[in-house]
Structure 1
Amino acid sequence: MPNAFVPGQGNLSAEDEALVKRRYKLLGPAYRLMYESPLHIVRGEGVWLYDSTGRPYLDVYNNVTSIGHCHPRVVEAVRSQVGMLATNTRYLHSLILDYAEKLLSTFPAALSNVMFACTGSEANDLALRIAKSFTGGTGIIVTQTAYHGITEAVSEFSPSLGKPVNLGAHVRTVPAPALYRSVDGDVAGKFTRDVQAAIDDLLRHGIKPAILIVDSLFTSDGVLADPAGFLAGAVKAIRDAGGLFVADEVQPGFARTGEHMWGFERHGVVPDMVTLGKPMGNGQPISGVVVRPDIVKSFGENARYFNTFGGNAVSCAAAMAVLEAIQEEGLQQNARDVGAYLGAGLRRLQEKRDIVGDVRGAGLFFGLEVVKDKQGMIADRERTTRIVNKMRDDGVLISICGGGYNVLKIRPPLVFSRDNADMFLDTLEKALQDV
């Protein structure tokens, strides 16, 4: 894990050192903390997180609470619903249907069914089950640094989890469609050829393709947004092979890209399935699979689907509040406008600093690639980590992504303002100068 805390290091208070030891004793060794000196966060509001001393940190990373920490609409919706009813989907209840209608109205008409779960991992697991039922195949194609979840099945096609987590024999990885460092700029053509080569290799080994699944902003691969439209050829290739295209919108979705509600819309394609998670309930666990009805038909006829907490009334109330906030408070417009302002500031820094090799993204989601110098374009993981930790010390939180662990992951809440952007840019400029 990039930018992970190493026990025994960091500048921790006696209280936080005791918490680290207690955490390790009780939760075991598999959990990780971020930053060289972990944060002890006790409260959140809007774009801010507050530590145990009351110090504020500008949160430019956490898209779980994508419309801001403790958004009043969500807080009230959860408070009201939990005091009235919290139950599963085996009883009739209008709220889940009201939310389903509102959610589906934001998708292309062909995607007219939705199934609910609790996490993005569960949603991708369910999407795979549906795809295998519909196609009769098992083959999966993902990018080389993709992350899609942590269940047994999904971890097998999440190569970013690292070598200790084995990829499935039915999984093929392809290079991410990156314009930066591209030899000829033909991102679409290369990605299509790479996906076709993966399809051919699956078939050669007697494995029928089931899905091509991508995060439509290729977040774990380093936030790869341009040129818009590069997915179309690869989508056609997987469908021609009898497989399905799944858009993982856990990170790019819910107005994140500004111009569109969903990341896949930038590419002019309609997926066969779309998976949702993290920002859907602004912290309340809820996720979903949006799917064409003809695809889910045979699955539903032959297998029951039940998730005890998936689509429960409290989570649906939170999710409804999120959609209402996005649509009624102009948050997609804000992502577009403030995102353009922030992007312009990042590109100014790119012009001034030789270690900033590339700036890319859409709406309020950017990747800034840190390199040893612009000419060599060699990934600089060490300085990237120093930048992130310097910014953390100066009160601004971001993280790292990309195969070389050298891309600053910049993903503020949709309520981010120009003043917030100015603070972020000033802090980033200082950190770039320091390293």
Structure 2
Amino acid sequence: MPDTADLLARRARLLGPAYRLFYDEPFHPVRGEGVWLFDAAGTPWLDAYNNVVPLGHARPEVVQAIARQAAVLNTHTRYLHDGILDYAERLLATMPAALGHATFTCTGSEANDLAMRIATAHTGGTGLIVTRFAYHGVTAAIACASPSLGQFVRIGEHVRLVDAPAGGDAEAGRRFADGVRAAIADLQAHGLQPAALLVDTVFSSDGIFTGPAGLLGEAVDAIRAAGGVFIADEVQPGFGRTGEAFWGFARHGVVPDIVTLGKPMGNGHPVAGLAVRPEVMQAFGKACRYFNTFGGNPVSMAAAAAVLDVIQQHDLQRNALHVGAYLRERLAALGQRHALVGEVRGAGLFIGVELVTDRATRAPATAQAAQVVNGLRQRQVLLSATGPQAHVLKIRPPLVFTREHADLLVERLDSVLAGLAA
């Protein structure tokens, strides 16, 4: 096997400067199985971050479904094929009945890009409201509404930023709605018609804010009153991850106008898409011809169907609910021993651990969070940090995570935190 220095040199030469790697010491997995990644020496690493594979790495049912379909037929959506229809029926059955159409892409970025095209055609507006540190994708139309990309992107003149609903108290929803109303007023003051409010329904890039349940309702009412639509970005929280519901928006008692999907949809296979109210899709459908060479192809649909099979047959949503609650309880207990742990929040197996240097002021422990992430990497546990100050540990393991895996994660986090204190 080539050594790390050789790989880094080749990467820089062949891929250029835009790509980024995790960790101070880059990680080189060569194989995956379940919740584990393995390096060349066969050392197992606990994957507590990768929601691209909700069923775990190399899930046999998905691998076999891809191979079977690839051995028979793989074309595009301009020929008839029952696979895309079968999957669309099953996908839409997991959502409110008002969401009657499905459209497929390859990535979540494409799905959010398409959602905005649909919203613009339906409303006649262009104004877009997102949270202050959101991430929604990498296309030109969506990167300009992804402020978490930081210095690498310029926020669009038609985009307004609002604070995520932090705090978790009963007034969080009202504060968020007030921000949305102010953004609507500012768009209108500049002659821009609001087209959409687009939010990741667990606010993962903003620092993971999941409560209280129902907090989105007032903001959704506000954007609709202004003639816009609500787009629920489920690329990260969807497919049962929050435990309490199959989709993050369902925890808040709202029915979106458009739902965008991505990362976990194919368990690593690049498949994504959206669900939309038929009346919202009508104007776009009349004016535009949508075609995506690879979106919705038979192999992608086979992979996506296998993912739904496993989630439903093995009740992984329930597993996320129970293991997630257990993990949050154990993580919160660390706060009794380590002053660095400020708050543990989340839903199901989407968890944030906020690290602070002062619990009274909640001053972000950004440097320490980086040390924790890299310290865990040295102890064969993989996760990351999120939020504007990168001080919230982001934990979103495969949905097949067990209590034993949770115990291992907590024990090694405890060790890293103790080392920092020493």
Same fold (TM over 0.5): yes
2:87 to 84, 99, 115: 99
1:60 to 37, 44, 48: 48
| 2:292 matched residue in structure 1 | 307
1:77 to 2:65 alignment = yes
Looking at structure 2, the residues matched to 276 and 297 of structure 1 have their Cα atoms a distance apart, in angstroms, of: 20
Within a 5 Å distance, the mapping from 1:26-45 to structure 2 comes to 26-45=14-33
| 2:149 matched residue in structure 1 | 161
3-state SS of paired residue (2:393) = strand
Output one character per residue of 1:411-431: Cα deviation in whole Å (capped at 9) or x when no partner: 110000111011001011111
Residue 249 of structure 1 aligns with an amino acid whose one-letter code is E
| 1:49 matched residue in structure 2 | 37
Within a 5 Å distance, the mapping from 1:279-294 to structure 2 comes to 279-294=264-279
| 2:352 matched residue in structure 1 | 367
Looking at structure 1, the residues matched to 347 and 376 of structure 2 have their Cα atoms a distance apart, in angstroms, of: 22
1:125 to 113, 117, 127: 113
| 2:417 matched residue in structure 1 | 432
| 2:231 matched residue in structure 1 | 246
Residue 409 of structure 2 aligns with an amino acid whose one-letter code is F
2:376 to 361, 380, 391: 391
2:103 to 115, 139, 146: 115
Looking at structure 2, the residues matched to 413 and 230 of structure 1 have their Cα atoms a distance apart, in angstroms, of: 26
Shift of 1:209: 0.2
Give the TM-score normalised by the residue count of structure 1: 0.95
| 1:142 matched residue in structure 2 | 130
1:421 to 397, 406, 420: 406
Residue 321 of structure 2 aligns with an amino acid whose one-letter code is R
Looking at structure 1, the residues matched to 2 and 291 of structure 2 have their Cα atoms a distance apart, in angstroms, of: 46
| 1:334 matched residue in structure 2 | 319
Looking at structure 2, the residues matched to 42 and 403 of structure 1 have their Cα atoms a distance apart, in angstroms, of: 32
Looking at structure 2, the residues matched to 128 and 372 of structure 1 have their Cα atoms a distance apart, in angstroms, of: 40
Looking at structure 2, the residues matched to 350 and 312 of structure 1 have their Cα atoms a distance apart, in angstroms, of: 48
Looking at structure 2, the residues matched to 254 and 351 of structure 1 have their Cα atoms a distance apart, in angstroms, of: 33
Within a 5 Å distance, the mapping from 1:172-187 to structure 2 comes to 172-179=160-167, 186-187=171-172
Shift of 1:298: 1.5
Looking at structure 2, the residues matched to 350 and 362 of structure 1 have their Cα atoms a distance apart, in angstroms, of: 18
Looking at structure 2, the residues matched to 333 and 306 of structure 1 have their Cα atoms a distance apart, in angstroms, of: 36
Looking at structure 2, the residues matched to 418 and 159 of structure 1 have their Cα atoms a distance apart, in angstroms, of: 35
1:346 to 328, 331, 339: 331
Identity of aligned residues (%): 56
Looking at structure 1, the residues matched to 37 and 216 of structure 2 have their Cα atoms a distance apart, in angstroms, of: 36
Looking at structure 2, the residues matched to 219 and 413 of structure 1 have their Cα atoms a distance apart, in angstroms, of: 16
Looking at structure 2, the residues matched to 374 and 81 of structure 1 have their Cα atoms a distance apart, in angstroms, of: 54
Gaps of 5+ in 1: 1-12
| 1:3 matched residue in structure 2 | none
Residue 362 of structure 1 aligns with an amino acid whose one-letter code is A
3-state SS of paired residue (2:50) = coil
Shift of 1:356: 0.6
Looking at structure 2, the residues matched to 205 and 394 of structure 1 have their Cα atoms a distance apart, in angstroms, of: 52
The number of aligned residues is 420
Looking at structure 1, the residues matched to 224 and 350 of structure 2 have their Cα atoms a distance apart, in angstroms, of: 29
Residue 254 of structure 2 aligns with an amino acid whose one-letter code is V
Residue 147 of structure 2 aligns with an amino acid whose one-letter code is P
Looking at structure 1, the residues matched to 82 and 35 of structure 2 have their Cα atoms a distance apart, in angstroms, of: 33
Output one character per residue of 1:341-391: Cα deviation in whole Å (capped at 9) or x when no partner: 111101111232111111000000100000002122100110000000000
Looking at structure 1, the residues matched to 174 and 12 of structure 2 have their Cα atoms a distance apart, in angstroms, of: 48
Looking at structure 1, the residues matched to 208 and 338 of structure 2 have their Cα atoms a distance apart, in angstroms, of: 20
Output one character per residue of 1:115-160: Cα deviation in whole Å (capped at 9) or x when no partner: 0000000000000000000000000000000000000000010000
Shift of 1:337: 1.0
Looking at structure 1, the residues matched to 395 and 28 of structure 2 have their Cα atoms a distance apart, in angstroms, of: 21
Task: Give structure 1 regions of 4+ aligned residues with deviation exceeding 4 angstroms.
Answer: none
Residue 205 of structure 1 aligns with an amino acid whose one-letter code is H
More displaced 10-residue stretch of structure 1: 350-359 or 266-275 = 350-359
Output one character per residue of 1:298-330: Cα deviation in whole Å (capped at 9) or x when no partner: 111111000000000001000000001000011
| 2:390 matched residue in structure 1 | 405
Residue 358 of structure 2 aligns with an amino acid whose one-letter code is D
Looking at structure 1, the residues matched to 283 and 123 of structure 2 have their Cα atoms a distance apart, in angstroms, of: 10
Shift of 1:14: 7.2
Looking at structure 1, the residues matched to 407 and 252 of structure 2 have their Cα atoms a distance apart, in angstroms, of: 30
2:213 to 196, 218, 228: 228
Shift of 1:163: 2.4
3-state SS of paired residue (1:413) = coil
